[in-house]
Amino acid sequence: MSARLLDGRALARGIVDDLRDEVGALSRAGLPQPTIAVVRVGNDPASVRYASQIERAFLGAAMGFRLEALPESTDDADLARVLAALAADPTVNGILLQFPLPPRLSRERAVEAIDPAKDVDGVSPLNAGRLFVGRGHYFAPATPLGGIEILRRSGIQIAGRHAVVVGRSEIVGRPLAMLLLGEHATVTICHSRTPDLAHFTRDASILAVAVGRPGMISGDMVAPGAVVLDFGINVVDGKLVGDVDQAVVSSVAGAITPVPGGTGPMTNAMLLSNTLEAAKRQSSRARSIR
């Protein structure tokens, strides 16, 4: 029996269609176009490609896109000034700082300089902290948020299930664990150094993998009927593959996200959704001040 494919492309198209309708309604109400500013330091090829994908997604949803491409020579103070200017710019609703930064720049200083109200990828300490405690207004990172949305829109129950997250990064693994906990799952966090990893993964009814190692999860590491979210993005022999051995695991799992076409398309959809939400919050705040 082959696993049900959780088609992220189709789900993302539906989300974008809904968002485009909402943006149109805001425009008719006289509100400005929700706009994201993407900040890149240097010209990392993967970051350049990703910025182009974001631009296509935002223009396709009738939303605004702006690129701040900074030279490799940018220092911490220069980057902080650019982020402060974007925080003060009323025409910018969302800010996305692209990683990785050049090694000599401080990631910690950079994320602290992002306005939490415009931090649409949830990397600022305030947003991360509010996600951790599960209180207040916050933005969650787009990639794990997309994974949760796949489960919701696919009618997959989260509450009461044992979810195992393999990966502990600040942008996928850790926030995903918090989001799953917020949906009342019982959550176990594992990583590349977990001894006897298969012992834990075989106990998962929801298995999410985000470690950046192609084919790390094999068929004998997955419980029959489990739901598998593959966040891996790896290039092997010129092909994009995930962290899960898709061909083998698909014969064991009950449902699985393909690579490509699974969690990836949902990331941009969640960036769009977060930016629209940021625009609405900022507009509401501006009206309350007047």
Confidence of residue 284 (pLDDT cuts 50, 70, 90): confident
Residues 230 and 246: their CA atoms lie apart, in Å, by: 9
> Where would I find the beta strands (DSSP E) of 46-86?
64-70
The token duo for 57 is 């997604």
Average pLDDT, the chain: 95
| pLDDT band with cut points at 50, 70 and 90 for residue 290 | very low
pLDDT digits (tens, 9 = 90+) for 266-281: 999 999 999 999 999 9
Question: What's the pLDDT band for 193 if we cut at 50, 70, 90?
Answer: very high
Distance CA 286, CA 280 (A): 10
Phi-psi region of 238 (alpha: psi -120 to 50; beta: other; left: phi over 0): left
Stretch 35-51: mean pLDDT = 95
Position 239: which residue type?
K
Does 289 have pLDDT greater than 60? no
In degrees rounded to 5, what are phi and psi of residue 107? -65, -40
Instruction: Sort strands 35-41 and 64-70 into parallel, antiparallel or unpaired.
Output: parallel
Per-residue confidence (pLDDT) for residue 164, from 0 to 100: 98
pLDDT of residue 72: 95
Q: Which residue has tokens 């195992």?
A: 164
Q: State the pLDDT confidence band at 285, using cuts at 50, 70 and 90.
A: low
Tell me: the pLDDT tens digits for 19-29? 999 999 999 99
Region label for 209, one of left (φ > 0), alpha (ψ between -120 and 50) or beta (otherwise): beta
Q: Could you give the domains of the chain?
A: 33-115 (3.40.50.10860), 142-263 (3.40.50.720)
pLDDT band at 287 (very low <50, low <70, confident <90, very high): low
Structure confidence at residue 192 (pLDDT): 87
52 closest CA partner among 72, 69, 34: 69
| Contact criterion met (CB below 8 Å) for 135 and 128 | no
Q: Can you tell me which residue has the tokens 């995930």?
A: 242
CB atoms within 10 A of CB 280: 15
Kindly give, in sequence order, each residue whose CB lies less than 8 Å from that of residue 177, ignoring residues fewer than 6 positions away. Answer: 163, 165, 187, 189
- Provide the pLDDT for residue 176: 98
Residues 165/187, Cβ–Cβ less than 8 Å: yes
Taking 60 as the threshold, does the pLDDT of residue 286 lie above it? no
Q: Give me the percent of the chain exceeding a pLDDT of 70.
A: 98
Indicate if the alpha-carbon torsion angle 205, 159, 169, 75 is positive or negative: positive
3-class secondary-structure state, position 255: strand
Phi, psi of 20 (to 5 degrees): -60, -40
Query: What pLDDT, on a 0 to 100 scale, did the predictor assign at position 15?
Result: 97
Query: Quick one: pLDDT at residue 1?
Result: 59
Task: Give whole-number Cα distances, 107 to 22, 23, 45, 199, in Å.
Answer: 34, 33, 19, 35
Q: Which helix (H) or strand (E) holds 55?
A: helix 45-60
pLDDT 10s digits, 112-140: 999 999 999 999 999 999 999 999 999 99
For the stretch 195-249, pLDDT in tens is 999 999 999 999 999 999 999 999 999 999 999 999 999 999 999 999 999 999 9
Residues 6+ apart with CB under 8 A from 188: 162, 163, 164, 165, 200, 203, 204
Closest by Cα among 231, 289, 221 to 262? 231
SS3 34: coil
